Amino acid sequence: MTFQELIAFLGRHPMLSLGLAGLTIALLYTEISRFWQGYKVLKPDGLTALVNRENALVVDIRAQNDFQQGHISGSKNVQPSQFDPENKQLAPAKSLPVVVVCKTGMTAGGAAKRLAKAGFEKVYVLDGGIDGWRSAGLPLVKGR
């Protein structure tokens, strides 16, 4: 396809062209905003490596009942209503990697941003949350 053919196509299909432009802008915005969010997204296998190599703190922000039904071994449960970067479980870990975990990986982003703003140096969110961990076939611990 030549450039002239592309211009002719765009002229014949203005709504399709606007849709493509809108999607392109949305994708670019999403990718660029990741640089300024203050945290990184971590795959389940990356979490395992981070815990083993750097003694990462895993903070599970799900409800206590959900936490007790299954959580990542060694993780600490901090309720969203009590989530504070100066929390006694969190404050000592400012220089350690901290991984925030929720059910699907969507809610954890807000908590991770708060940690980054409070000066935590290495903040991560588990990609897919506990559901992603479970989908990767990794074990969960029941109880407290």
Catalytic annotation, pick one of 102, 115, 123, 125: 102
CB atoms within 10 A of CB 112: 26
Residue 113 CB: number of other CB atoms within 10 A?
16
Identify which of 96, 95, 44, 42 has the alpha carbon closest to the alpha carbon of residue 73: 44
What distance in Å separates the CA atoms of residue 47 and residue 52, rounded to the nearest whole number? 9
Active site annotation includes 102: yes
Tally of CA atoms within 13 A in the half-sphere of 135 that contains its CB: 12
Give the bridge partners for 76, in sequence order: 59
Burial 56-75 (b: 16+ CB within 10 A, else e): bbbbbbbeeeebeeebbeeb
Catalytic residues: 102
